[in-house]
Amino acid sequence: MPRKTVIIGGGAAGLGSAGGVKAADPGADVVVYTENEDVAYSPCGIPYVHGGEIPDFERLFLAGKQAYVDAGIDVHYETAVTAIDTAAKTVTVAGEGAVSYDQLIIATGWNYADPGVPGGELSGLYYVKNIRRAMEWDKVISETKSAVVVEAGPLGLEMVTALAHRGVETHLIDPNPYALAMMADPDIMKPVEDSWRELGVHLHFNTTLEAFLGDADGKVRAVQTSGGEIAADLVVISTHKTPENALAKAAGIKLGSTGAIVVDERMKTSAPDVWAAGDVVEIPHGLTRTPLQGLTGSHAYAQGKTAGTNAGGGDRAYRAVYVPWGTPAGKWVIGGASFGEATATALGIPYVKGEAQGISRARYYPGVQPVRVKLLAEPGTLRLIGAQMVGGGEGIKERADFLAQAIRFGMTLHDLSTMENVYSPAIGALNEPIVVAATNGVAESKKKA
């Protein structure tokens, strides 16, 4: 009899898991439960359809439902799992009762943190997540005059830009002194904030949400903040991602300090034959060992593949992360790896800094863009510990990938300052910005020594 693997969740982690099981054990019986109407679409694309950069929602769908049927993966749509019994090795499925498993993979994902203020029941509060809801909200955006985006996290950044591109009077409120403060440094965000102001966005930093205010019809009309009332037809709530841990918690599966499930390098939880992947787990940072939760779809997918491979009898490890990241923001693209100065300072980690204002092509080649690179290194050894960038867009993502891998491999500023680079006018400058930043960092460290 084939082994049966049950997967809870149909996002990147859940489907990555399903593929991982099938690759390791082609005969396995794989059942995926999702509360959604769909699987295999890209929720990450939603803000760009709202912003008009992507012309329609349809293209966010990756594969039809038949593709999963063909792959032997049995997806149950709009189906909630309400409990896990790790002793009986069953899950309770709404409408199906107790379903037994040989292996279980929890990929329940994340949800927005509850804003925790009065007025949460009003209509007009948009939590960007589900594609069917997004299609409906897109029509609402067309008729919206003014909107407030609550918190300048990664999704908030994208929605601020999207709403501004749609011609909506857009306000951003955030309790921190600058945008994306949990990840980025203020000098990296400065040009982004300037470009939002150019787009007409109103930025309210150091500003706390106090309440959603409604009209007689139960529709939001404003938000109350520590800095006063801001009128709004629409409120986009992009509070931080919290793990959807209710099922795991109720089942007695061990959670970590972030509230997410603790897993080992094989993505195994504390319960026998139970694995987990994606935004419901926490993964240690490669340098600080601090548990991180709420990474990207790419991380979720890779974790899912690991969990699925192991659940299917294979052997695959998923190790600590160095977190390359990047995103368009206003008219710029920002990115980095590991942490920046703000986080290093908050954690009490000393660093040497190397900075450079470089360019993406030869200075005379049309389309040349600025690329600002900031590298942080451990004093003494000059081992790279973090990086942040802001630029026109060319090569930011690839440099972030590289710098994360450079941190993982213990490369130093010396190593980066002696790195070779492609020089071809249309695609690369004589001096690679990373090399210049590293060279400046080495010089800086000598001055200090």
Binding site for a second copy (CB under 8 A): 12, 42, 44-45, 48, 53-55, 59-60, 62, 296-299, 301-302, 317-319, 321-328, 333, 335, 362-366, 393-402, 404-406, 408-409, 411, 415, 418-428, 430-432, 434
Nearer to a second copy, 55 or 116 (CB): 55
Q: Are 131 and 54 in contact (CB under 8 A)?
A: no
Nearer to a second copy, 161 or 258 (CB): 161
Nearest alpha carbon to residue 406 among 430, 379, 435, 429: 435
> Which residues does residue 169 pair with via DSSP β-bridges, in sequence order?
146
Nearer to a second copy, 183 or 235 (CB): 183
Task: Give 414's contacts (C-beta < 8 A, 6+ positions apart).
Answer: 382, 438, 442
- The rounded distance, in Å, linking the Cα atoms of 154 and 151 is 9
Nearer to a second copy, 54 or 80 (CB): 54
- The rounded distance, in Å, linking the Cα atoms of 72 and 429 is 49
Nearer to a second copy, 15 or 147 (CB): 15
Nearer to a second copy, 131 or 235 (CB): 131
- The rounded distance, in Å, linking the Cα atoms of 78 and 357 is 50
- The rounded distance, in Å, linking the Cα atoms of 322 and 103 is 29
| One-letter amino acid of 74 | D
Nearer to a second copy, 83 or 427 (CB): 427
**Nearest approach, Cβ of residue 435 and a second copy (Å):** 9
What Cα–Cα distance (Å) separates residue 158 from each residue in 116, 152, 327, 448?
Answer: 23, 9, 8, 39
Nearer to a second copy, 124 or 335 (CB): 335
**Nearest approach, Cβ of residue 409 and a second copy (Å):** 6
**Nearest approach, Cβ of residue 230 and a second copy (Å):** 28
Burial 114-152 (b: 16+ CB within 10 A, else e): ebeeebeebebbbbbebbeebeebeeebeebebbbbbbb
Nearer to a second copy, 244 or 432 (CB): 432
What Cα–Cα distance (Å) separates residue 90 from each residue in 27, 101, 134, 312, 444?
Answer: 21, 6, 34, 18, 60
> Which residues does residue 170 pair with via DSSP β-bridges, in sequence order?
147
**Nearest approach, Cβ of residue 181 and a second copy (Å):** 19
**Nearest approach, Cβ of residue 237 and a second copy (Å):** 21
Nearer to a second copy, 119 or 335 (CB): 335
| One-letter amino acid of 25 | D
Sign of the dihedral through C-alpha 64, 70, 72, 77: positive
- The rounded distance, in Å, linking the Cα atoms of 231 and 229 is 7
**Nearest approach, Cβ of residue 297 and a second copy (Å):** 5
**Token representation of residue 274:** 């139970």
What Cα–Cα distance (Å) separates residue 328 from each residue in 30, 133, 159, 279, 375?
Answer: 37, 24, 11, 22, 20
Sheet of 29-33, strand order? 73-76, 29-33, 4-8, 103-106, 274-276
**Nearest approach, Cβ of residue 362 and a second copy (Å):** 6
Helix, coil or strand: residue 425:
coil
**Pairing mode, strands 202-204 and 169-173:** parallel
**Nearest approach, Cβ of residue 166 and a second copy (Å):** 16
**Nearest approach, Cβ of residue 446 and a second copy (Å):** 12
**Nearest approach, Cβ of residue 296 and a second copy (Å):** 5
